[in-house]
């Protein structure tokens, strides 16, 4: 037998061996598919049936708020409406959580979603931080609600003040600019400065002793002690409990050189409250300089804008 014939026979044996090995492998795969495919198809049919099962359908329950939490009625109404829009959606729907997150994230009331979980058979647990009204700004013959960051909340402007919300008003027309679009920050020096001053009050021990009812924004020019003009800055006067007034001056957010810091003004106000004169109804606390004291000036809203920082 020649060498070529032997090589041909060996190749033929190798092919037969490959075929013998391949046939059992293909047969095993076929048998496995015969088992897996019916199971997968049956599971799909069961899942489709479960999607229609009423016991897994959400009922759109009303929003439950933690005890003691105060929200404005408009936020509760809007957030409840979003929850009820998912009536009838199955808890087994794989897109349910992403759809809910998207809808709530689009709300101007929601600052951040903190948690979202399924609770079988038909409830979803959602936790979020809600933007709350921090102040109402008078502009364009209406009051507008803003949160602590100065974002305009989705509440229609009102010609009458909202209850239990501090006011921010201009001492003269044009001191406060027009409101922005809903959800945008009110980029106005008077509004943002007033909110900054209010945050300082609320973070101090004076918050309960001198609750702020109104902040009056006064326009004008900030001058140094020599009378030279430095910058056009807004000044702030806070009307607090019992008609008392705090003459704050400029809000020094960045602790500018030559100006009192916010901490220094709060300390001076604290020292003034320890004095007997602080009990006088309608007293005016003046903390704009390093020589704090009391004044008997008219209500800030009646002051003329003389353009001077005092």
The pLDDT tens digits for 79-109 are: 888 888 888 888 888 899 999 999 999 999 9
Cis status, amide bond into 192, omega within 30 of 0: no
CA distance 216 to 300: 7
pTM passes above 0.85:
no
Query: Using an 8 Å Cβ cutoff, are 209 and 215 in contact?
Result: no
CA distance 41 to 32: 14
pLDDT in tens, the chain (310 residues): 565 545 555 555 555 554 454 445 566 666 676 666 665 555 555 556 656 778 888 876 544 555 444 567 778 888 888 888 888 888 888 899 999 999 999 999 999 988 888 888 888 888 888 999 999 999 999 999 999 999 999 999 999 999 999 999 999 888 999 999 999 999 999 999 999 999 999 999 998 889 999 999 998 655 555 555 556 678 899 999 888 999 998 887 655 566 788 889 999 999 999 998 888 888 999 998 888 888 765 544 444 344 333 3
CA R_g for the chain: 35
CA distance 200 to 238: 12
CA distance 149 to 196: 9
* 3-state class (DSSP) for residue 162: coil
User: Which among 170, 135, 133, 138 has a CA at the least distance from the CA of 154?
Assistant: 133
Query: Using an 8 Å Cβ cutoff, are 238 and 209 in contact?
Result: no
Domain 135-302: which topology?
Rossmann fold (3.40.50)
Strands 293-295 and 235-239: unpaired
Structural domain spans, the chain: 3-51, 56-130, 135-302
User: Which among 234, 61, 162 has a CA at the least distance from the CA of 153?
Assistant: 162
């Amino acid at each position: 037998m020649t060498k070529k014939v032997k090589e041909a026979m060996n190749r033929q044996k190798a092919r037969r061996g490959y075929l013998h090995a391949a046939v059992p492998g293909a047969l095993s795969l076929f048998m496995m598919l015969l088992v897996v495919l019916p199971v997968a198809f049956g599971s799909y049919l069961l899942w489709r049936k479960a999607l229609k099962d009423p016991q897994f359908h959400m009922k759109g329950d009303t929003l439950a708020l933690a005890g003691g939490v105060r929200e404005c009625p408009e936020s509760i109404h809007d957030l409840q409406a979003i929850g009820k829009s998912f009536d009838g959606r199955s808890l087994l729907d794989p897109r349910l959580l992403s759809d809910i997150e998207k809808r709530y994230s689009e709300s101007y009331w929601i600052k951040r979603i903190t948690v979202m979980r399924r609770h079988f058979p038909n409830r979803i647990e959602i936790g979020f931080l809600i933007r709350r009204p921090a102040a109402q700004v008078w502009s364009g013959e209406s009051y507008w609600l803003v949160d602590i960051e100065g974002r305009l909340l989705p509440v229609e402007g009102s010609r009458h003040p909202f209850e239990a919300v501090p006011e921010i008003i201009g001492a003269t027309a044009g001191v406060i600019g027009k409101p922005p679009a809903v959800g945008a920050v009110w980029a106005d020096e008077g509004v943002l400065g007033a909110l900054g001053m209010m945050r300082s009050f609320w973070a101090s021990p004076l918050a309960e002793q001198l609750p702020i009812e109104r902040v009056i924004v006064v326009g004008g020019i900030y001058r140094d002690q020599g009378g030279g003009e430095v910058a056009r800055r807004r000044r702030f006067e806070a009307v607090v409990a019992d008609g008392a007034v705090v003459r704050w001056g400029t809000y020094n957010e960045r602790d500018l050189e030559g100006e009192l810091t916010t901490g220094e003004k709060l300390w001076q106000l604290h020292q003034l409250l320890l004095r007997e004169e602080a009990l006088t109804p309608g007293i005016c606390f003046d903390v704009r300089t390093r020589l704090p004291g009391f004044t008997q000036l008219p209500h800030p809203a009646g002051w003329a804008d003389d353009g001077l920082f005092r």
